[in-house]
Amino acid sequence: MKPRGPRITRGVYPVASGFLDPRIKLRHISCFVEVARQHSVVRAAGALGMTQPGVSKTLKELEETLGIALFDRSRRSLSLTGFGEIFLTHAGLSVAALRQGVEALNQARSSGATIAMGALPTVSSSLAPQAIERFGASPMFCRIRVVTGPSTYLLAQLHVGDVDFVVGRLGNADGMAGLSFEHLYSECIVLAVRAGHPLLHAHPFDLRQVERYPILMPPPGAIIRPSVQRFLLSHGVGKLRDEVETVSNSLGRAIVMASDAVWIISEGVVAGDIAEGRLAALPVDTRETLGPIGITTRTGMALSPHAEALVRIIRSVAAEGGPLAEFEHRRSKRQSPTSL
């Protein structure tokens, strides 16, 4: 006499109007996956901490709900039917995904989590502070270690895993092997001077006039250095006077505000100073220096739940206009006909 299986009602399916049949519970899926793995109700019962009748009853409920026999009971050991093989592929993935979700929540609740974020100069005084401030109000907030420096240094730190991700300009191609870049927005360089600088009153303004003043330049190796050099050469600017090379935002700001120096720097670094009137941008079109700002990560490496939460906030801040929103608003207002 052949073993009796569950009574199957043909044509009954667990999907109605796009929703899963509510009779299918997690215990059904877990039980099915374990029996399929063990090829035995007895062994599955031991692994699940259930009784053998309990496992059999759970499988029967699942098969009756699906309207399909998942196991071939005509042999000594259980084997999957063709339908069972199909269902196992998806059921196994769902259990694994749920397990990963629980593990992610446990990591998220850990009080010892730390995020290591690399921040290039262009975002260190604008996008990064805004995002970190907003992250402070998030339930995912944790200790943040912000690493600053030139692009070559930060990308090297990212390669070896000393930082989780880097925010700033797209790195040079030779340093991006094994890394992925997510574009957020683009910005130009500006030539920033103190309010009241003599060049602001030069009519007409000629860019070659900057040769008469001390110049703060990004050093060799900085991402924007090639763009700055091409820009100056294309406008006929030759030898610069008293050139100072620095990647320090604070040093550059202090020198420019206390002297007649001209600071050639990414727009995001001085956007707030220009919006508040402490600094001004020389009236020269720098659109040819436009470059992408975004998030660089290791290819194929998932971020921790905390780091991913911070990245989402960075995306949100950038999508809302980023660090240049107020700068652009005030600049357009100054250039509008009604403000003249």
Nearest to 122 by CA among 243, 271, 246, 327: 271
Q: In the chain, where are the structural domains located?
A: 15-108, 114-185+292-328, 189-289
**β-strand 71-72 against 165-169: which pairing, if any?**
unpaired
* Tokens standing for residue 260: 């007649």
Task: Convert the pLDDT of each residue in 25-66 to its tens digit.
Answer: 888 988 998 888 888 889 888 888 999 999 999 999 999 998
Reduced to 3 states, what is the DSSP secondary structure of residue 30?
Answer: helix
Angle at 186 between CA 174 and CA 171, to 5 degrees: 15
Task: Convert the pLDDT of each residue in 61-106 to its tens digit.
Answer: 999 998 989 998 877 778 898 998 898 888 888 888 887 777 766 6
**β-strand 214-217 against 262-266: which pairing, if any?**
parallel
Task: Convert the pLDDT of each residue in 157-208 to its tens digit.
Answer: 999 899 999 999 998 888 899 999 999 999 999 999 999 999 999 989 999 9
What is the pTM assigned to this prediction?
A: 0.65
Q: Look up residue 280 and give its amino acid.
A: A
* pLDDT at site 11: 44
Query: Which CATH number among 3.40.190.10, 2.60.120.330, 3.30.230.80, 3.30.420.10 corresponds to the domain 114-185+292-328?
Result: 3.40.190.10
Whether the Cβ atoms of residue 212 and residue 257 lie closer than 8 Å to each other: no
d(CA 127, CA 145): 16
Q: Look up the CATH superfamily of 189-289.
A: Periplasmic binding protein-like II (3.40.190.10)
Q: Do 15-108 and 189-289 agree at the fold level?
A: no
Percent of the chain at pLDDT above 90? 51
d(CA 247, CA 265): 9
* pLDDT at site 173: 84
- Whats the size of the chain, residue-wise? 340
pLDDT at 335 over 60: no
**Architecture of the structural domain at 15-108:** Orthogonal Bundle (1.10)
Q: Picking from 66-75, 105-114, 250-259, 294-303, which range would have the lowest pLDDT averaged per residue?
A: 105-114
Total Cβ atoms within 10 A of residue 200: 15
Classify residue 119 by its DSSP letter.
E
* pLDDT at site 240: 82
Q: Look up residue 150 and give its amino acid.
A: P
For residue 83, what is the enclosing H or E element?
A: helix 82-108
- Residue 10: CA count within 13 A, CB half-sphere: 0
Whether the Cβ atoms of residue 304 and residue 164 lie closer than 8 Å to each other: yes
Distance of CA 312 to the CA centre of its chain: 6
